[in-house]
Amino acid sequence: MASGFLIRKNQYYDSVFLMGVNRRISEVKGVQQSAVLMGSQANKELLAAIGIRDAQIDAAQPNDLVVAIVAETPQIVEDVLGRLDEWLQPAVEGAPVSARRSLEDGLASKPNANLAVISVPGEYAAREARKALEAGLNVFLFSSNVPIEEELRLKELAARRGLIVMGPDCGTGLIGGVGLGFANAVRRGPIGVIGAAGTGLQEFTCQVHNAGYGISHAIGTGSRDLSDQIGGITALTALDALENDPQTRVIAIISKPPGTRTLERLIERFKGCRKPIIGCFLGVRGNLTDSATAFRPAPHIGGQASTIDEAVQLAIAAVGGEPAALPTLPSAEEQEWVVREKAGWAPGQRYLRGLFAGGTFCYQTQQILQDAGIPAHSNAPLVQARALAHPDQSREHTVVDMGDEYYTTGRPHPMIDGTLRRQRIVAESRDPQVAVLLLDFILGYGASMDPVGELYNAIVEAQQTARRRGGALTVVASICGTDGDPQDLALQTRLLKEAGAIVFPSSARAALFCCRLLRGD
């Protein structure tokens, strides 16, 4: 194993641009790890974590480009670093050129704008968001790694000015039909939704679209908004906006587990809402038609859903539609799949490994498994006692959120680049006790143009590894997307089936099928 690095002084590039460069370098044969990033303190820590340390890196500034390589031989390292201009040039030639270099430049060119989309490294994001708020702009803050204290100050400032901060770490929004961040091709309609996680919003809006209905607005809050430290400031502002929006007839709220005090605060607000509200708080047990703690009646809630699929059903029913019934029993085809797949397993195969690009799907899957009596370990656990000691070390049944900051600091999100998931799929297949591999694939603008293609060979290799041991690996997958998405939903589905996967149209249905497999229903 060999490593090396190169520093280009005062050569700044956007993080999205560098993700593309890093992806191309990582595909070079013999390259084990690569990092193409700016010399911020957080990025230096990331380099140290992969064993790249040097006084020159310590001295690098945020405007300096740092490229680090870990490869099989010194020659590969030398070749890759020596071709850096080649890696950069094609992307530079194809990149659009803009004369705008600041928020002030943007406002000068669009003086009537009322929303700023901010995607800069986390250490600079709060400063730029504050400038936007002070200029009277609402903020969609895509950036992550923003301290929670800064988030609270930004949201309190927005509330005082009658504005909203969606984020930080806000992956998705649909405002007036315009997609922000990771968003899908979805028609307009009467259903509004608030989401504390991007993939939860994507799953909800895609299912509404695929059922023939539409979305008025989908407002992301950021993953920490419903914590007790923030108190749901953005969620409550979004609720006010949707309640006053004439196009919105029902409001759904999709979230990972909220803080207890924040949930109580939300339920109190629900009581005064003039429109029906669908609550889907993944991981929250008990009846939401009661108080979070005292279980008081609350008829203002339009319905409580335990999965995103159920939330979609309730929302469609609330606008007078006829939602398709969710299957409560396995179909004849699913029963055949269970018998066929289990017949191929070796005697020692009994565990599930879920590798998720969507954090919401990781939470929802844990809940479904838990309800079926199948406890799972995770790096984002519903039950803290089942937290993984290390995100890369699975044990027994394990589901991993690979969009967690541990995996994305200085690296592309798995929805953009499947490299880390590809490596983890192969690694999990080497465990002779693994029987089921559960994956999600998320389509839409901003995501990889071929998410299945990126993992196709790894899926096939994983199954071959299990067969060589005399067993079989069952691959179960879900796809979140619509027929209007640029990746071609039908093509991605067909590729997955050709790779040997059993494919479902929702993450919840895929997880339920895994329960039937593991229990032998």
The pTM (predicted TM-score) of the whole model is 0.85
Taking residues 464-492, report their average pLDDT.
96
Structure tokens given for 72: 């099989």
Tell me: pLDDT of 141 over 50: yes
**Distance separating alpha carbons of residues 49 and 341, to the nearest angstrom:** 40
DSSP string, 399-459: EEETTSHHHHTTS--TTT--HHHHHHHHHHHT-TTEEEEEEEEE-SBTS-S-HHHHHHHHH
**pLDDT per residue as tens digits for the range 297-340:** 334 456 788 999 999 999 999 999 988 777 767 788 889 999 99
Under 8 Å between Cβ of 441 and 447: no
**pLDDT per residue as tens digits for the range 371-392:** 999 999 999 998 899 999 999 9
**pLDDT per residue as tens digits for the range 354-363:** 999 999 999 9
Tell me: pLDDT of 262 over 90: yes
| Region of residue 66 (left: phi > 0; alpha: psi -120 to 50; beta: else) | beta
Q: What is the pLDDT of residue 301?
A: 56
Structure tokens given for 39: 């010399």
Categorize the per-residue pLDDT at 290 as very low, low, confident or very high, splitting at 50, 70 and 90. Answer: very low
**Distance separating alpha carbons of residues 226 and 235, to the nearest angstrom:** 7
Tell me: pLDDT of 293 over 50: no
Which domains, from first to last, does the chain contain?
A: 2-94 (3.30.70), 103-318 (3.40.50.261), 332-519 (3.40.50.261)
Categorize the per-residue pLDDT at 456 as very low, low, confident or very high, splitting at 50, 70 and 90. Answer: very high
Taking residues 183-202, report their average pLDDT.
95
| Region of residue 199 (left: phi > 0; alpha: psi -120 to 50; beta: else) | alpha
